Structure 1
């Protein structure tokens, strides 16, 4: 099944991001049929592989709001049905599903100083787009236990690069960030992506292409304008 799922996701530029088996009854939401879920598979993107499929889909023209979320659902719902899975999305809710907790159970990701997950290979250039709940165990490989690359990074350029010090020990000041990015001095972040995120040396070869960077930044700014 997992090989077939990889093959189905590949044209979308998405990938299976790991998964896990439920530890007990009630550990996972119920399937659409009302039965207990036995396992969860996380689906997402790595680097810029997803962007060409999304850009070619016409979703930016077809959907006035949340085009990436809506395209993701449009593309993945049929695949979930093909494999007898119930698809859940981070944009579902309320109640919202614990995608970050599931991700930490599924693969070796860790919270970075920027408060987003860092992967030991892909760095900060990845995301989780959906979870497929299954009634069976698909035969997943055990989760690898790899330490966070941030542990051995003493320079922490991600924290020192932000022009307005939006990342602090108290968290992320999204208002300060948005004011800078949307202002006259924020064009570099606005057009090419967050300077702090780009400063991380891990997984730079997986950085998003400029068009994807600009799309995500516009999505961040839009509700704050």
Structure 2
């Protein structure tokens, strides 16, 4: 099965391949949301509508486990009792790097990157040519977009970020998502629904 075949199967579930790396036995495919279709499909899912906790994780586990079963692969997740090392995998992959503000930047999602799971295959696949590090030729608007400069120091100032977001229920970081993430030119082309970003920001505050 080729990379293109695998991508077609994954995208049919409103996920997409966010990077690949070699695992112990074969190729690991890192999966993230395929926009703009991911959020509407998730919101129509039984996991979202049953009112129980962690709907995004539960949807991801159901869908990616089904994909793994169909491909004879193993599913891994960045949540749950046996969390896989997704940050390490992302940095070892061919499509993610550390951005100027310290967060991961991914070739397709920019600073809006989120990994919903991974498929570990028992065989190696030929992957597309890896893109160049995008921040090298960027004006880096992410470095000045945060209203409180929470990403300008050596470490992310979580409390400054949290206090600002909690200070006004109508400010854009809460209603549209992190302004630094949205400033990234790749993020702007990713077409992520503002409602999705707002949901994740509310989860961050809980």
Q: What interval of TM-score do these two structures reach, taking the shorter chain for normalisation?
A: 0.7 to 0.9
Q: Aligned equivalents of 2:65 and 2:167: distance in 1? A: 39
- Give the TM-score taking structure 1 as reference length: 0.80
Q: Let me know the Cα RMSD of the aligned residues.
A: 2.3
User: Which of structures 1 and 2 has the bigger CA Rg?
Assistant: 1
Determine the C-alpha separation between the residues in 2 that align with 1:6 and 1:104: 21
Partner of 1:59: 47
Alignment of structure 1 residues 42-53 onto 2, 5 Å: 42-53=30-41
Q: 2:61 aligns with which of 49, 73, 76?
A: 73
Distance 1:6 1:145, change over 3 A: closer
The alignment's TM-score, normalised by the length of structure 2, stands at 0.86
2:137 is the counterpart of 1:136: no
Specify the alignment match of 1:13 in structure 2: 14
Correspondence 1:200 to 2:188: no
Give the corresponding residue for 1:31. none
Q: Does residue 116 of structure 1 match 2:117?
A: no
Contact 2:21 / 2:94 at 8 angstroms: preserved in 1?
Answer: no
CA deviations 1:17-44 (Å, max 9, x no partner) are 332334xxxxx4xxxxxxxx33312222
SS in 2 for 1:12: coil
Runs of 5+ unmatched residues, structure 1? 23-27, 29-36
Q: Are 1:161 and 2:112 counterparts? A: no
Aligned partner of 1:217 among 193, 201, 206: 201
Uncovered stretches (5+) of structure 2, i.e. residues with no partner: none
Shift of 1:142: 5.8
2:173 maps to 189
Aligned partners of 1:145 and 1:7: how far apart in 2?
20
Secondary structure of 1:20's match? strand
Report deviation, 1:75.
Answer: 1.2
Counterpart of 1:32 in structure 2 is: none
- Residue 46 of structure 1 deviates from its aligned partner by 4.3
Runs of 4+, deviation exceeding 4 Å: none
